[in-house]
Amino acid sequence: MATNFFSQQDLARRNTRILISLFTLAVVLLLLLTNALVLVGLGLVDLQQVNNQQPLSHNLPWTMVFITSISVIIAVGIAVLVKWQQLKGGGKVVATSLGGNRIDAASNDPLERRLLNVVEEMAIAANVPVPPVYLLPEKGINAFAAGYSPGDAVIGVTRGCVEQLNRDELQGVMAHEFSHILNGDMRMNIRMIAILNGILFLGHIGYFMLRSGSTSRGRIGRSSGSNKNKNAGGLLAIALGLVVIGYLGSFFGNLIKAAVSRQREYLADASAVQFSRNPRGIAGALKRIGAHSAGTRIRNSNADENSHLFFGEAISRWASIFATHPPLAKRIKRLEPHWNGKFPSPINQVDPAVEQSPPPPTSSARSDNAAPDSHKMLQAIAALPLLLVQNSRQPLQAQAIVCALLLQNAHVEAAQLQLIKTQGSLELLQNVDQIIDAVQKLRLPLQVQLLQRTVPALKQLSQQQFAQFEQLIQALIAADQQVSLPQWIVTQFIEHTVASHFQPKPQLRGSRKTDMLALQGPVLALLSAVANAAGDAPDGATASKQAWLAGLASMGLTVDTPRPDSPLAALTGHLNDLLSAAPLVKQQIWQAILAAVTADKLETDNEQALLLALALLLEMPWQPAAAVN
């Protein structure tokens, strides 16, 4: 049975609320402990009077309690905000903090090329933008996915993972990471980094005070005033106490992190089969880890705070309750119940030259757990011309592909080509000329999948290069004076997945809207666009009307509900509202979309392309109707 990723995203969202509640509780405990430490350390509480059963409230210096509490809240808040600001750039910030270097999308290194090919395949199967891949100089077999959304996600892979796993095993690991992307775990995981940093910050203050105190104790000891010695001793006691509180914060923080993380790992293992169609792939990777001397260890100094992101346990734990991942044997047993408990013999390094690329999937080769839509998308990989696939991996040629996709009107094509030459470059124009025929021969759904492949290469542009490219895109659209469905898909896709890389947009991580009534206007624009896409069927007007009415019925709306004009223009203004819908609300919207598309029992190229694009733009998990009903 296919995983319902909408439900799993909702669970991740609820886990985030639990995490914030636990964080709030931890901060309250920190407040109490820190106040007690300060009051006792500075001698502001008369313990003898307290022992004489006088009310404690009568002995507390409330001004100091207020100052201490505000100081703790501000300190923790600043620590969270600073870390949040550091992580604003999304997954690439996490990858670089772990020592990762981005692999060139056009790399010809055999191991790197095999990895990039597998990532492309899994991205197409999951219907998410192909993410940039970062290589970590680590011997352990490990990987992670990080980011706020599929549009800014990155995949990080260790050198050990690339060298030790064969293609099937590597595919299983990548499928696991893409499951985290679709399950909604990435946003929760990156928030956890910032929140836990706040809990641990008081301990850092204590360490700072201890270091400062050790350098000044000599001077204080030579001072003639006994009060100074007493105050210094009190401050050192407070510093030591803050370190202890920091350890307590670390203790509870790691408990929170482990509890939230472990349950998601079992789910990602199971969901991985849905994309790889091969349960032995991920199980084989886990067995390979058991046989490898370095295991899954990450030696980077930032491994601890990011340990919950990884495929396997990144650092050694002294107690299993702090483990962010289930035991290796249990994970394997869930995938292969009859496993004999033996690990394979260690290897020095796989040789990608002897590995053959897997044949296009057939129904007989597919696992029962495989999603039909993923199967169709993987079949489409072989349909793209090799020239276009290779061009999609290089920045200049990737720009040429986008330009070629925008040339939809023969009447203005000459003017658009002139714009490419003047606002772009002669070299860009030459690249467009070489591929335009091949691009325009593709069916529209394949054009969308080709567009997906260009993302890593386009993200390699500099800020200035992309700004110039974005201006060229706008000029090409303006020259046409009307926006067709293919052009709308291209411009919105670039805005959502590439422009957000250069200028992160807070609305992509905004609050989740749970009121379907408040989203009625955006949903109607969406259904109208889907109904218009049905208009290229043999009986266009009838098919469009059927799609519109079926979408309304799915949403429980009456047949006389007004239909928006210019749906693509209206939908553009509503994309952020739809994007911020809660997962279970998105599930209802997706069901309405599917009802509209299947109303006439004929799925046209325009409908297929729009489905792909909407799932990408609205970050909706791509699933067949049976998986969301």
Tokens in use for 366? 């597919």
Are 63 and 255 a contacting pair, CB within 8 Å? Answer: no
What is the distance, to the nearest Å, from the Cα of residue 59 to the centroid of all Cα atoms in its chain?
51
Residue labelled with tokens 């009447």:
411
Residue with tokens 């020095």: 348
**Of 619, 627, 597, 626, nearest in space to 610 by CA:** 597
HSE-CB of 549 using CA atoms within 13 angstroms: 10
Sign of CA dihedral 564, 567, 573, 579: positive
Q: DSSP letters of 45-85?
A: S-HHHHHTT--GGGT--HHHHHHHHHHHHHHHHHHHHHHHH
Pairing of strands 143-146, 154-158: antiparallel
Contacts of 169 (CB under 8 A, 6+ apart): 281, 282, 284, 285, 288
Element (H, E) at 155: strand 154-158
Q: Please report how the helices 605-617 and 485-493 are oriented relative to each other, as an axis angle in degrees rounded to 10.
A: 20
Q: Please state, in angstroms and rounded to a whole number, the distance separating the CA atoms of residues 197 and 214.
A: 25
Secondary structure letter of residue 601 according to DSSP: S
Cross-strand partners of 136: 158
Q: Strands 154-158, 133-136: parallel, antiparallel or unpaired by DSSP?
A: parallel
Element (H, E) at 256: helix 226-276
Look at the block and give the residue holding tokens 């050790």.
Answer: 214
For residue 629, the SS3 value is: coil
- Identify whether the C-beta of residue 610 lies closer than 8 Å to the C-beta of residue 551: no
Closest CA to 624 of 134, 274, 252: 274
Point out the catalytic residue in the list 120, 121, 169, 177: 177
Instruction: Report DSSP state, residue 89.
Output: G
C-alpha distances in angstroms, 220 versus 37, 237, 238, 242? 22, 15, 17, 21
DSSP letters spanning 406-418: H---TTTHHHHHH
How many angstroms separate the CA atoms of 112 and 578, rounded? 37
Sheet containing strand 133-136, strands side by side: 101-102, 133-136, 154-158, 143-146
Active-site residue 177, yes or no?
yes
Alpha carbons within 13 A on the beta-carbon side of 189 = 31
Side-chain half-sphere of 589: how many Cα atoms within 13 Å?
36
* DSSP string covering 156-171: EEEHHHHHH--HHHHH
Active site residues: 177
